Amino acid sequence: MSTLFPWFDWPSTAVPSSLNQPILPGWSFLTVNEANSSAPDTEKRIVAQDSYGRQIGRLMDVVEILVREAEKTNPDLSGDKCVQDLADLKARIDEAKAEAQKIRQDRLIEDLLALKRQDGGKFAAVMKAVSLP
């Protein structure tokens, strides 16, 4: 602090000495390294192409088919708690996907209507480009 101009050091009193604030609270990013993967480069390449969510979703779809087939010979299987828990989880995921799709569709409609109001020519070109038989 300056003794000649004591008011000159005001920034140090206005700013905290330590600031630690998460940018995206609730988010975490997976780190793939030698400690948690035998082939981290391969795993990073796979996840870049197909996320863990996509991989698990495909597995859930196959497990659902296998359970339906197994229920034909063992009807009691549908009452198993882990089978029901998986079915409930899949239903919640499917519902979340449907809601997200609806939000995207609504946003698309809003954007198209705004484009129509702002520039009818561009709107017509877009509609022509996406016209389906």
Q: Does residue 125 belong to any structural domain of this protein?
A: no
Q: Does residue 66 belong to any structural domain of this protein?
A: yes
* Angle subtended at Cα 45 by Cα 44 and Cα 48, rounded to the nearest 5 degrees: 85
Q: Does residue 37 belong to any structural domain of this protein?
A: yes
Q: Does residue 103 belong to any structural domain of this protein?
A: no
* Chain mean pLDDT for the chain: 83
Average pLDDT over residues 42-50: 87
Residue for token pair 């050091």: 9
124 — pLDDT class (breaks 50, 70, 90): very high
pLDDT value at residue 46: 87
Residue-wise pLDDT tens digits, 66-88: 999 999 999 898 889 999 999 99
Counted domains in the chain: 1
How far apart (Å, rounded) are the C-alpha atoms in residues 63 and 66?
Answer: 5
By residue range, what is the domain housing residue 64?
33-79
pLDDT value at residue 35: 66
The reported pTM is 0.60
Q: What is the DSSP string of 31-84?
A: ---TTT-SSHHHHHHHHHHS-HHHHHHHHHHHHHHHHHHHHHH-GGGGG-HHHH
Residue-wise pLDDT tens digits, 90-118: 999 999 999 999 999 999 999 999 999 99
How far apart (Å, rounded) are the C-alpha atoms in residues 22 and 28?
Answer: 10
Q: Does residue 112 belong to any structural domain of this protein?
A: no
CB 77 within 8 A of CB 71: yes
Q: Does residue 114 belong to any structural domain of this protein?
A: no
> If you count them, how many residues does the chain have?
133
